[in-house]
Each structure stands twice: as structure tokens, then as C-alpha cells.
Amino acid sequence: MRSFHRSFLFGAALSLGVALACPSLAEPTAEDKAAAEALFQEALKLTKLNNYNEACPKLEASNKLDPAVGTLFNLGDCYEHTGRTASAWSTFGEARRLAEQRKDRREKDAIEREKGLEPKLAKLVLKADDRPEGLTIRRDKKTIDLATLGSAVPVDPGKHTIEVEAPGREPWSTTVDIPDKPGEVPVTIPPLAALRSTATANPSASSAAGPDTAPSGMSTRKIAGIAVAGVGVAGLIVGGVFGGLTFAKVGDSKQDGHCVDGNPVKCDATGLAIRKDAETMANVSNIALAVGGAAVIAGAVVFLTAPSEAPAKGAKAGLRAPVTVRVSPVVGATNGLLITGSY
């Protein structure tokens, strides 16, 4: 007897704990009911003015706060007036089930409205022969159960967006315009293509650019020519700067009588030091000018002899002679560069 009493108390406590842990199962509060009633009354006023577009959202909100047969009945009627036949049909079905549960006399009216809409329903039939793992299908941003594939599902007339995706596959989407008349609209979802890697995302670009072509469309040989010529221009600038410094040093050596004008040998110790610095700068200038000039010429040769188009299809490789440019320094009485080559 005591054991039974203890079990009974445990069962009662467990039931109370479950009830407290599941607030979603609780009845609407007084405030919820008051808000639902206010929304319902506003919706009725709007329907009397034939303003069903604003009435429907208020009835939806009222039903969420406090589900009622009358609210569902009016919501279904509102959907029907706005051309949402599928939504009206399913809402009258909800009203029928709730009326049956609550023994409401409006159950019969809900059944009649539900059956009256069945012949008017437009239905969408989604088909997918390829169903990869992780396949997700959304209709108007809402994920649908894959079990509905192949079944005729009632939908409201109008445009509906179908989005399909799966891991490792290219996404696919389409827009379906459901007519406002009974019938089935089939939509076949094609097999999703495998995701393309970045390297193969644009095959036309990679095929157009050969191994001797840069992404910009200019051949690498022409780019090399421009680069060499650029180095040459820099060399010419350096040579010009040191040449100017050389003349400045020579001018300094003539000041205060350090060197005799027109005779570089007749200089005092200070003048000889200045002339030695001038000679060093002159050598740097000569070499820089020679190297710069040679680089400009070499770059121009490489650029101008580079092929402007890809070889004709089927042409044998090696028919075009390679460009060879050799630059050798010459040191002696006259500093400079010897340029030889073939092209």
C-alpha cells in the first residue's frame, strides 16, 4: 500500500514537471486571447470593406495567439477571396478538424467549403530522377519534404520559385507560374552538375590563352621585352645622372685654381682628387648608359619579333626561330657593350 502511494506521488510529480517544461502545450493566456479577439474584430471590419489583403494577415496572427474555429473559418474565406485556393482549402480542413475535436456545429460548414474547393485546386508536381545525398529543395524559400517528389501538391496560383542544391553540386533554380485553374503543372529537376573548380571555371579563357600567352592576352615574350626595355630606361636615367655629376666635378676642379683649364695634368693635390672622383663617375655613367641603351634595344627586338597570334592549327612547333640576344661588356680605352644576336 505504501509502495503504491509512493509510485502515485512520483507519477504525479513527473506529470507536473513535464507540463511545466512544455509551455508550448499551455493554454493561451488572457492577454493572448484579448489580442486575438482584437485582431479578429479588426479583420472583420476590413472584410466588410472588401479589403481582404489586409484582413488575412490579422486573421493569421489572431489564430496563432488563440486558435478558434471561427477564426479559421474566416481565414479560409479570406484566402479564397484573394485567389489563394490551396491555402483556403487547407485552412477549411484545419477548421473542420478543430470543430470535430471541440464538437462545434460548424464542422459541417467547413466540410462543405473544403469539398467545394477541391475541384478548383491547381497542383504542382516536382520530379527528380537524380537525388544526391544532402539534396535540399525549397519552394518560395521554404524547405519541402523530399517525400512529396512525384506527388501532386496543391499550391496557390501565381509565381513560385524552386531552388535546388546539394553538397558538391551546382545549384539550380527556376520560377514556375501556376495558372488560376484546376490541373497539374509538372516540373522536372535536372541532374545537378558537379561543382567546377576555379581552374576550370572558365575553360574558354584557358583554351584561348596558350602556354606563351599571359592572362591579359599579351604574349609572355612581349611582356619580357617591355620589362627589359624598362630596365634599360632606368639605366639611361642613372647614366644621365652620373654624367651630370661628372661635369659638376670637373667644374669644381677648376675653381680656386686647383686645375689648369684645358690641361687636366696640371692640378694640385685637391684638383687631382676631384678629377679622380669625376673619372669614376664618368665610368659609371658610361657603363650605365651603355647597359641601358643595350637593354632598350634588346627589349625592342624581343617585343617586335614576338608572335602576335597563336600558331595556325596543325602547324609544327619550332618553325619560328627563337630570338637570341647577347650583351657583352667591353672594358678598355672605351667602356661599352657589345650586342650580338639573331632573330
| Residue 3, in any domain of the structure | no
User: Contact, 339 vs 251, CB < 8 A?
Assistant: no
| Residue 194, in any domain of the structure | no
User: Confidence class of residue 196 from pLDDT cuts 50, 70 and 90?
Assistant: confident
> What is the count of structural domains for the chain?
3
Measured CA to CA, the distance from residue 174 to residue 194 in angstroms comes to 18
Say what the pTM is. Answer: 0.53
Domain boundary among 145, 170, 188: 188
143 plus 105 within the same structural domain: no
303 plus 225 within the same structural domain: yes
Per-residue model confidence as pLDDT tens digits over 61-112: 999 999 999 999 999 999 999 999 999 999 999 999 999 999 999 999 999 9
Residue 20: its pLDDT value, please?
A: 37
| Residue 336, in any domain of the structure | yes
Measured CA to CA, the distance from residue 315 to residue 74 in angstroms comes to 80
Residue-range definition of the domain harbouring residue 82 = 28-119
User: Confidence class of residue 207 from pLDDT cuts 50, 70 and 90?
Assistant: very low
Residue 271: its pLDDT value, please?
A: 65
115 plus 135 within the same structural domain: no
| Residue 204, in any domain of the structure | no
CA 245 to chain CA centroid, nearest Å:
57
DSSP-assigned states of every residue in 224-238: HHHHHHHHHHHHHHH
226 plus 331 within the same structural domain: yes
Percent helix, percent strand, percent coil in the chain, to nearest 5? 55, 20, 30
User: Confidence class of residue 49 from pLDDT cuts 50, 70 and 90?
Assistant: very high
Mean pLDDT (whole number) for 310-322: 45
43 plus 97 within the same structural domain: yes
| Residue 228, in any domain of the structure | yes
CATH of the domain at 134: 2.60.40.1120
230 plus 132 within the same structural domain: no
User: Alpha-carbon dihedral of residues 240, 246, 249, 254, nearest 10 degrees?
Assistant: -120
Mean pLDDT (whole number) for 16-25: 41
Residue 174: its pLDDT value, please?
A: 98
326 plus 250 within the same structural domain: yes
| Residue 281, in any domain of the structure | yes
Identity of the residue numbered 75: L
pLDDT at 182 over 80: yes
User: Contact, 224 vs 302, CB < 8 A?
Assistant: yes
| Residue 140, in any domain of the structure | yes
Residue 103: its pLDDT value, please?
A: 96
User: Confidence class of residue 341 from pLDDT cuts 50, 70 and 90?
Assistant: low
43 plus 80 within the same structural domain: yes
CATH of the domain at 95: 1.25.40.10
- Top-confidence residue, 103 or 324: 103
326 plus 224 within the same structural domain: yes
User: Contact, 185 vs 121, CB < 8 A?
Assistant: no
Measured CA to CA, the distance from residue 107 to residue 117 in angstroms comes to 16
User: Contact, 93 vs 79, CB < 8 A?
Assistant: no
Residue 325: its pLDDT value, please?
A: 52
75 plus 99 within the same structural domain: yes
32 plus 110 within the same structural domain: yes
